[in-house]
Structure 1
Amino acid sequence: MTQDSELDALVRMRIRGMRAALGWSLDDLAERCHLSPSTLSRLETGHRRIGLDQLTAIARALGTTLDRLVESADDADVVIRPHHDEVRGTTTWTLSREAGAHGLTVAKIRITRPVRRGTEELRVHPGRDWFTVLSGTVVLLLGERTIRVEAGQAAEFSTMVPHAFGCDGGPAEVIGIFDPDGRRTHLRPGE
Protein backbone atom coordinates (compact mmCIF):
# COMPACT_ATOMS: atom_id res chain seq x y z
CA MET A 1 0.00 0.00 0.00
CA THR A 2 1.46 3.39 -0.95
CA GLN A 3 1.63 6.35 1.40
CA ASP A 4 -1.07 8.12 -0.66
CA SER A 5 -3.43 5.15 -0.50
CA GLU A 6 -2.80 4.78 3.27
CA LEU A 7 -3.68 8.43 3.82
CA ASP A 8 -6.70 8.08 1.54
CA ALA A 9 -7.94 5.09 3.58
CA LEU A 10 -7.30 6.99 6.82
CA VAL A 11 -9.31 10.01 5.62
CA ARG A 12 -12.22 7.76 4.59
CA MET A 13 -12.13 6.02 7.98
CA ARG A 14 -12.09 9.39 9.77
CA ILE A 15 -15.12 10.62 7.80
CA ARG A 16 -17.08 7.45 8.54
CA GLY A 17 -15.98 7.44 12.20
CA MET A 18 -16.86 11.08 12.80
CA ARG A 19 -20.22 10.65 11.09
CA ALA A 20 -20.98 7.62 13.27
CA ALA A 21 -19.80 9.40 16.43
CA LEU A 22 -22.26 12.19 15.69
CA GLY A 23 -25.00 9.60 15.22
CA TRP A 24 -25.58 10.71 11.63
CA SER A 25 -26.72 8.51 8.77
CA LEU A 26 -25.29 8.88 5.29
CA ASP A 27 -28.41 10.93 4.48
CA ASP A 28 -27.77 13.29 7.42
CA LEU A 29 -24.17 14.02 6.41
CA ALA A 30 -25.01 14.16 2.71
CA GLU A 31 -27.63 16.83 3.37
CA ARG A 32 -25.21 18.90 5.46
CA CYS A 33 -22.40 18.79 2.87
CA HIS A 34 -24.65 19.03 -0.20
CA LEU A 35 -23.69 15.67 -1.70
CA SER A 36 -25.95 12.78 -2.59
CA PRO A 37 -26.02 9.88 -0.12
CA SER A 38 -24.83 7.49 -2.85
CA THR A 39 -21.85 9.75 -3.66
CA LEU A 40 -20.98 9.98 0.03
CA SER A 41 -21.26 6.20 0.38
CA ARG A 42 -18.89 5.66 -2.56
CA LEU A 43 -16.44 8.20 -1.07
CA GLU A 44 -16.48 6.47 2.33
CA THR A 45 -16.01 2.99 0.85
CA GLY A 46 -13.26 3.96 -1.60
CA HIS A 47 -15.30 3.37 -4.74
CA ARG A 48 -14.87 7.00 -5.70
CA ARG A 49 -11.94 9.41 -5.34
CA ILE A 50 -12.46 12.31 -2.95
CA GLY A 51 -12.10 15.72 -4.53
CA LEU A 52 -10.72 18.66 -2.56
CA ASP A 53 -14.02 20.55 -2.89
CA GLN A 54 -15.89 17.51 -1.52
CA LEU A 55 -13.41 17.04 1.32
CA THR A 56 -13.71 20.70 2.31
CA ALA A 57 -17.52 20.50 2.38
CA ILE A 58 -17.43 17.25 4.38
CA ALA A 59 -14.96 18.69 6.92
CA ARG A 60 -17.12 21.79 7.38
CA ALA A 61 -20.27 19.66 7.82
CA LEU A 62 -18.51 17.47 10.41
CA GLY A 63 -17.37 20.53 12.34
CA THR A 64 -13.68 19.91 11.79
CA THR A 65 -10.95 21.30 9.56
CA LEU A 66 -9.44 19.95 6.40
CA ASP A 67 -6.09 19.75 8.21
CA ARG A 68 -7.54 17.49 10.91
CA LEU A 69 -9.05 15.14 8.34
CA VAL A 70 -5.80 14.69 6.41
CA GLU A 71 -3.18 14.89 9.20
CA SER A 72 -0.61 12.12 9.36
CA ALA A 73 -1.14 9.04 11.50
CA ASP A 74 2.59 8.80 12.27
CA ASP A 75 3.51 7.27 15.65
CA ALA A 76 5.45 10.45 16.44
CA ASP A 77 2.05 12.07 16.91
CA VAL A 78 1.18 9.51 19.59
CA VAL A 79 4.31 8.57 21.50
CA ILE A 80 5.76 11.17 23.86
CA ARG A 81 9.41 10.46 24.45
CA PRO A 82 11.27 11.73 27.51
CA HIS A 83 14.03 14.30 27.41
CA HIS A 84 16.81 13.62 29.97
CA ASP A 85 18.84 16.52 31.36
CA GLU A 86 21.63 15.06 33.51
CA VAL A 87 22.94 18.46 34.61
CA ARG A 88 19.58 19.64 35.91
CA GLY A 89 18.60 16.20 37.21
CA THR A 90 15.33 16.09 35.31
CA THR A 91 13.50 13.90 32.84
CA THR A 92 10.70 15.73 31.04
CA TRP A 93 7.71 14.54 29.02
CA THR A 94 6.05 17.48 27.25
CA LEU A 95 2.42 16.36 27.29
CA SER A 96 0.89 19.14 25.19
CA ARG A 97 2.25 19.22 21.66
CA GLU A 98 0.62 22.54 20.87
CA ALA A 99 0.43 25.43 23.30
CA GLY A 100 -3.03 25.64 24.84
CA ALA A 101 -5.00 28.67 25.92
CA HIS A 102 -2.74 31.64 26.61
CA GLY A 103 0.27 29.65 25.33
CA LEU A 104 0.26 27.23 28.28
CA THR A 105 2.24 23.97 28.12
CA VAL A 106 1.69 20.87 30.27
CA ALA A 107 4.65 18.66 31.19
CA LYS A 108 5.42 15.74 33.48
CA ILE A 109 8.81 16.12 35.15
CA ARG A 110 10.81 13.57 37.15
CA ILE A 111 13.22 15.40 39.43
CA THR A 112 16.24 13.47 40.72
CA ARG A 113 18.50 16.28 41.93
CA PRO A 114 18.13 17.83 45.38
CA VAL A 115 18.14 21.59 45.77
CA ARG A 116 20.10 23.39 48.48
CA ARG A 117 19.89 27.06 49.40
CA GLY A 118 23.17 28.83 48.74
CA THR A 119 24.25 26.37 46.07
CA GLU A 120 21.49 27.11 43.56
CA GLU A 121 21.09 29.97 41.16
CA LEU A 122 17.57 31.24 41.71
CA ARG A 123 15.97 32.25 38.42
CA VAL A 124 13.44 34.92 37.58
CA HIS A 125 11.25 35.23 34.50
CA PRO A 126 7.89 36.82 33.69
CA GLY A 127 4.71 34.85 34.34
CA ARG A 128 3.46 32.18 36.73
CA ASP A 129 4.26 28.49 37.26
CA TRP A 130 1.96 25.81 38.61
CA PHE A 131 2.76 22.22 39.52
CA THR A 132 1.24 19.34 41.46
CA VAL A 133 3.38 16.64 43.02
CA LEU A 134 2.48 13.13 41.90
CA SER A 135 5.06 11.32 44.03
CA GLY A 136 7.91 12.20 46.36
CA THR A 137 8.60 15.62 47.83
CA VAL A 138 9.64 18.78 45.98
CA VAL A 139 11.59 21.54 47.70
CA LEU A 140 10.74 24.93 46.22
CA LEU A 141 13.16 27.75 46.95
CA LEU A 142 11.02 30.85 46.53
CA GLY A 143 12.75 34.10 47.41
CA GLU A 144 13.87 33.73 51.03
CA ARG A 145 11.44 30.88 51.71
CA THR A 146 12.01 27.14 51.49
CA ILE A 147 8.73 25.35 50.82
CA ARG A 148 8.22 21.58 50.91
CA VAL A 149 5.48 20.38 48.56
CA GLU A 150 4.43 16.78 49.26
CA ALA A 151 2.70 14.21 47.03
CA GLY A 152 -0.90 15.25 46.48
CA GLN A 153 -0.16 18.94 47.05
CA ALA A 154 0.21 21.70 44.47
CA ALA A 155 2.05 25.01 44.26
CA GLU A 156 1.43 28.13 42.19
CA PHE A 157 3.62 31.21 42.27
CA SER A 158 4.82 34.30 40.46
CA THR A 159 8.00 33.55 38.58
CA MET A 160 9.14 37.13 39.13
CA VAL A 161 10.13 35.86 42.60
CA PRO A 162 13.59 34.22 42.40
CA HIS A 163 13.03 30.45 42.45
CA ALA A 164 14.49 26.97 42.00
CA PHE A 165 13.23 23.50 42.83
CA GLY A 166 14.55 20.02 43.44
CA CYS A 167 13.65 16.77 45.18
CA ASP A 168 14.03 15.77 48.82
CA GLY A 169 14.61 12.19 50.03
CA GLY A 170 14.57 10.62 46.56
CA PRO A 171 13.07 11.30 43.15
CA ALA A 172 9.86 13.28 42.79
CA GLU A 173 7.42 13.48 39.89
CA VAL A 174 5.29 16.51 39.08
CA ILE A 175 2.83 17.68 36.47
CA GLY A 176 3.54 21.31 35.66
CA ILE A 177 1.74 23.98 33.68
CA PHE A 178 4.02 26.62 32.22
CA ASP A 179 3.33 29.85 30.39
CA PRO A 180 5.56 30.64 27.36
CA ASP A 181 8.30 32.17 29.55
CA GLY A 182 8.19 29.22 31.98
CA ARG A 183 8.39 26.79 29.07
CA ARG A 184 11.54 28.49 27.76
CA THR A 185 13.12 28.52 31.23
CA HIS A 186 12.10 25.14 32.63
CA LEU A 187 11.59 22.94 29.59
CA ARG A 188 14.28 24.39 27.33
CA PRO A 189 13.71 25.12 23.64
CA GLY A 190 13.07 22.15 21.37
CA GLU A 191 11.65 19.86 24.04
Structure 2
Amino acid sequence: MFLELIAVIFAGMAGGGLMAIIIRFSGSRLPKWLTPVAAGGAMIAATVSSEYSWFSRTTVTLPEGFVVVETVETSAIYRPWTHVVPLTERFVALDTASVQSNPSHPDLRLAQVYFYGRWSPLNRLNVAADCGKGLRAALTDGISFDDAGSIEGANWVSARDNDPLLDAICEAR
Protein backbone atom coordinates (compact mmCIF):
# COMPACT_ATOMS: atom_id res chain seq x y z
CA MET A 1 0.00 0.00 0.00
CA PHE A 2 2.82 2.38 0.87
CA LEU A 3 4.61 1.70 -2.42
CA GLU A 4 1.40 2.36 -4.34
CA LEU A 5 1.07 5.71 -2.57
CA ILE A 6 4.63 6.59 -3.56
CA ALA A 7 3.90 5.53 -7.15
CA VAL A 8 0.80 7.76 -7.26
CA ILE A 9 2.79 10.73 -5.91
CA PHE A 10 5.51 10.22 -8.50
CA ALA A 11 2.90 9.89 -11.25
CA GLY A 12 1.43 13.23 -10.16
CA MET A 13 4.84 14.89 -10.17
CA ALA A 14 5.62 13.42 -13.59
CA GLY A 15 2.25 14.47 -15.06
CA GLY A 16 2.52 18.00 -13.66
CA GLY A 17 6.17 18.30 -14.71
CA LEU A 18 5.43 17.12 -18.23
CA MET A 19 2.60 19.62 -18.58
CA ALA A 20 4.84 22.41 -17.24
CA ILE A 21 7.41 21.56 -19.94
CA ILE A 22 4.70 21.50 -22.62
CA ILE A 23 3.42 24.91 -21.47
CA ARG A 24 6.94 26.32 -21.52
CA PHE A 25 7.67 25.00 -25.04
CA SER A 26 4.33 26.31 -26.31
CA GLY A 27 5.48 29.82 -25.51
CA SER A 28 3.07 30.07 -22.56
CA ARG A 29 0.06 29.97 -24.91
CA LEU A 30 -1.53 27.24 -22.78
CA PRO A 31 -3.03 28.19 -19.41
CA LYS A 32 -0.93 27.38 -16.35
CA TRP A 33 -3.87 25.76 -14.57
CA LEU A 34 -3.33 22.73 -16.83
CA THR A 35 -0.31 21.76 -14.71
CA PRO A 36 -2.27 20.71 -11.58
CA VAL A 37 -5.00 19.21 -13.77
CA ALA A 38 -2.39 17.03 -15.52
CA ALA A 39 -0.89 16.07 -12.15
CA GLY A 40 -4.31 15.06 -10.80
CA GLY A 41 -5.15 13.17 -13.98
CA ALA A 42 -1.87 11.25 -13.81
CA MET A 43 -2.53 10.37 -10.17
CA ILE A 44 -6.02 9.10 -10.97
CA ALA A 45 -4.68 7.11 -13.94
CA ALA A 46 -1.97 5.53 -11.76
CA THR A 47 -4.52 4.59 -9.10
CA VAL A 48 -6.95 3.06 -11.60
CA SER A 49 -4.14 1.17 -13.30
CA SER A 50 -2.94 -0.20 -9.98
CA GLU A 51 -6.45 -1.30 -8.97
CA TYR A 52 -7.17 -3.08 -12.25
CA SER A 53 -3.78 -4.78 -12.45
CA TRP A 54 -3.91 -6.16 -8.87
CA PHE A 55 -5.73 -9.37 -9.84
CA SER A 56 -3.39 -10.27 -12.70
CA ARG A 57 -0.28 -9.34 -10.67
CA THR A 58 -1.45 -11.51 -7.78
CA THR A 59 -2.49 -14.55 -9.82
CA VAL A 60 0.87 -14.59 -11.61
CA THR A 61 2.61 -15.03 -8.24
CA LEU A 62 0.41 -17.92 -7.06
CA PRO A 63 2.37 -21.08 -6.24
CA GLU A 64 2.27 -24.00 -8.64
CA GLY A 65 -0.88 -26.06 -8.17
CA PHE A 66 -3.07 -23.15 -7.13
CA VAL A 67 -6.19 -22.69 -9.26
CA VAL A 68 -8.41 -19.60 -9.16
CA VAL A 69 -11.86 -20.98 -8.47
CA GLU A 70 -13.99 -17.86 -8.14
CA THR A 71 -13.63 -14.10 -8.43
CA VAL A 72 -15.66 -11.29 -6.87
CA GLU A 73 -16.12 -8.21 -9.03
CA THR A 74 -17.45 -4.96 -7.61
CA SER A 75 -18.67 -1.58 -8.78
CA ALA A 76 -18.86 1.54 -6.64
CA ILE A 77 -20.44 4.93 -7.12
CA TYR A 78 -17.26 6.67 -5.96
CA ARG A 79 -15.35 4.81 -8.69
CA PRO A 80 -17.47 5.52 -11.77
CA TRP A 81 -15.12 3.62 -14.11
CA THR A 82 -16.06 0.38 -12.32
CA HIS A 83 -19.57 0.63 -13.75
CA VAL A 84 -18.05 0.27 -17.22
CA VAL A 85 -15.56 -2.48 -16.31
CA PRO A 86 -16.13 -4.07 -12.88
CA LEU A 87 -13.10 -4.36 -10.61
CA THR A 88 -11.91 -7.71 -9.23
CA GLU A 89 -11.28 -7.10 -5.53
CA ARG A 90 -11.31 -10.65 -4.16
CA PHE A 91 -10.82 -14.21 -5.33
CA VAL A 92 -10.75 -17.77 -4.05
CA ALA A 93 -7.91 -20.15 -4.93
CA LEU A 94 -7.72 -23.90 -4.41
CA ASP A 95 -4.42 -25.63 -3.66
CA THR A 96 -4.84 -28.71 -5.84
CA ALA A 97 -1.76 -30.32 -4.29
CA SER A 98 -3.51 -30.32 -0.90
CA VAL A 99 -6.54 -32.32 -2.07
CA GLN A 100 -6.71 -35.59 -0.14
CA SER A 101 -9.07 -38.53 -0.30
CA ASN A 102 -9.63 -41.66 1.75
CA PRO A 103 -9.91 -45.01 -0.05
CA SER A 104 -12.71 -46.06 2.30
CA HIS A 105 -14.67 -42.89 1.40
CA PRO A 106 -13.84 -42.16 -2.26
CA ASP A 107 -16.40 -39.35 -2.61
CA LEU A 108 -15.02 -37.45 0.39
CA ARG A 109 -12.19 -34.99 -0.26
CA LEU A 110 -10.25 -32.59 1.94
CA ALA A 111 -8.56 -29.48 0.55
CA GLN A 112 -7.04 -26.13 1.47
CA VAL A 113 -8.74 -23.05 0.07
CA TYR A 114 -7.21 -19.56 0.12
CA PHE A 115 -9.12 -16.27 0.14
CA TYR A 116 -7.29 -13.31 -1.38
CA GLY A 117 -8.49 -9.71 -1.03
CA ARG A 118 -7.19 -6.43 -2.39
CA TRP A 119 -6.66 -4.73 0.97
CA SER A 120 -7.05 -7.68 3.31
CA PRO A 121 -4.76 -10.37 4.68
CA LEU A 122 -4.60 -13.81 3.11
CA ASN A 123 -6.95 -16.32 4.75
CA ARG A 124 -6.79 -20.10 4.54
CA LEU A 125 -9.59 -22.55 5.21
CA ASN A 126 -9.62 -26.34 5.25
CA VAL A 127 -12.67 -27.61 3.39
CA ALA A 128 -14.30 -31.02 3.14
CA ALA A 129 -16.29 -31.91 0.02
CA ASP A 130 -18.67 -34.78 -0.48
CA CYS A 131 -18.58 -35.13 -4.26
CA GLY A 132 -21.32 -37.77 -4.36
CA LYS A 133 -23.88 -35.74 -2.42
CA GLY A 134 -22.87 -32.24 -3.55
CA LEU A 135 -22.06 -31.05 -0.03
CA ARG A 136 -19.17 -29.13 1.47
CA ALA A 137 -18.14 -28.10 4.95
CA ALA A 138 -15.56 -25.86 6.54
CA LEU A 139 -13.25 -27.82 8.82
CA THR A 140 -13.11 -25.77 11.98
CA ASP A 141 -12.63 -26.51 15.68
CA GLY A 142 -14.81 -29.33 16.93
CA ILE A 143 -14.42 -31.47 13.82
CA SER A 144 -13.15 -34.98 14.31
CA PHE A 145 -12.57 -38.11 12.25
CA ASP A 146 -13.70 -41.55 13.36
CA ASP A 147 -11.70 -44.74 12.82
CA ALA A 148 -13.36 -45.36 9.45
CA GLY A 149 -12.39 -41.89 8.20
CA SER A 150 -15.83 -40.27 8.40
CA ILE A 151 -16.06 -36.64 9.48
CA GLU A 152 -18.01 -35.97 12.66
CA GLY A 153 -19.30 -32.58 13.80
CA ALA A 154 -19.11 -30.88 10.40
CA ASN A 155 -21.74 -28.36 9.35
CA TRP A 156 -22.45 -29.61 5.83
CA VAL A 157 -24.08 -27.19 3.39
CA SER A 158 -25.61 -27.99 0.02
CA ALA A 159 -23.61 -26.48 -2.79
CA ARG A 160 -25.47 -24.81 -5.63
CA ASP A 161 -25.46 -26.45 -9.04
CA ASN A 162 -22.13 -26.00 -10.79
CA ASP A 163 -20.51 -24.69 -7.60
CA PRO A 164 -16.99 -23.76 -8.77
CA LEU A 165 -15.29 -24.68 -5.49
CA LEU A 166 -16.97 -28.07 -5.16
CA ASP A 167 -16.35 -28.83 -8.83
CA ALA A 168 -12.67 -27.91 -8.54
CA ILE A 169 -12.15 -30.01 -5.43
CA CYS A 170 -13.93 -33.02 -6.96
CA GLU A 171 -12.01 -32.76 -10.25
CA ALA A 172 -8.58 -32.49 -8.57
CA ARG A 173 -6.53 -35.69 -8.43
TM-score by length of 1: 0.26
TM-score normalized with structure 2 length: 0.28
- Higher relative contact order, chain-length normalized (CA < 8 Å, sep 6+): 1
